Amino acid sequence: MKSHVRSICRHAIHLGLAALLASCGSDAMTSPPSNWVLTMADEFDGAEGSPPNPAIWSHDIGGDGWGNQQLEYDTNSVDNVSHDGQGNLRIVAREESFRGNDYTSARIKTENLFEQRYGRFEARIKLPAGQGLWPAFWMLGADFDQIGWPETGEIDIMEFRGQQTNSISGALHGPGYSAGESFFSSYRLPEGETFTDDFHVFAVDWDPGQIRYWVDSEVYQTLTSSQIRERGRWVFDHPFFVLINLAVGGGFVGPVGQNTEFPAEMLVDYVRIFERAP
């Protein structure tokens, strides 16, 4: 039944049918469909245990900390990233010794497969709880390999500290405003709610000179080129690619807590990317 409903919803997205989308429940996008044209979508409807679609996703593999003192070794194993057979992609962090690291996980990206300048980038995700868990949905400039970071620019659509279960953040990094000097804002759920109990939609609307950050149907941060230029250069007028990962440890979240449970699982219901309708 779920696969049939998801098929109807995908059809609605492609055609921009607002009335049909309204019947799609939590799988529907939260922004007005008439404003956007779909350019890429992965609904993660693969068979249980199958890897991410290689036409959309590749893997960052390694365990050198990624410049953030992360503790995991990121692999391309289906033990760390695979479809769950229920319409989700699961990224699993495991406590296990592997190539000198004490944890394994996964980090996937659309680099050289799908890159876009401007648009709406959104994903519906359920996050894991635990001190030292660091899931993220983010973007890097497509010229990253040529000019490096932070000159290429980084758009953090969603970052989460597993020990702060009711709060996420979004940020921009670039020359003059990177790492701890980034433009940064947090979004907090109402008292008693957490991002680990259910799925939520995380998105940015990226236009020339402006990026707006969403959680579900609420905008919580707007950053403009004039704000950025007070500290550095605006570097967000070229194509970017998407990354999704579940890090373990690192400067953003601190050490792993004694009570953090493994395996820890990040579930991604979908990723959808749009451009402004003409």
CA-to-CA distance for 41 and 24, rounded, in angstroms? Answer: 16
Find the catalytic residue in 96, 159, 230, 265. Answer: 159
- Dihedral over alpha carbons 138, 250, 58, 214 (to 10 degrees): -20
Counting beta carbons within 10 angstroms of the beta carbon of residue 3, is it exposed (0 to 12), middle (13 to 18) or buried (19 or more)?
A: exposed
Task: Please give the full DSSP string across 89-124, using - where no structure is assigned.
Answer: EEEEEEEEEETTEEEEE-EEE-TTT--BSSEEEEEE
CA-to-CA distance for 46 and 3, rounded, in angstroms? Answer: 11
Q: Are 273 and 204 in contact (CB under 8 A)?
A: no
**Token pair recorded at residue 243:** 């990354």
Active site residue 43: no
Find the catalytic residue in 43, 154, 193, 230. Answer: 154
Q: Are 159 and 168 in contact (CB under 8 A)?
A: yes
Active site residue 159: yes
Catalytic residue numbers?
A: 154, 159
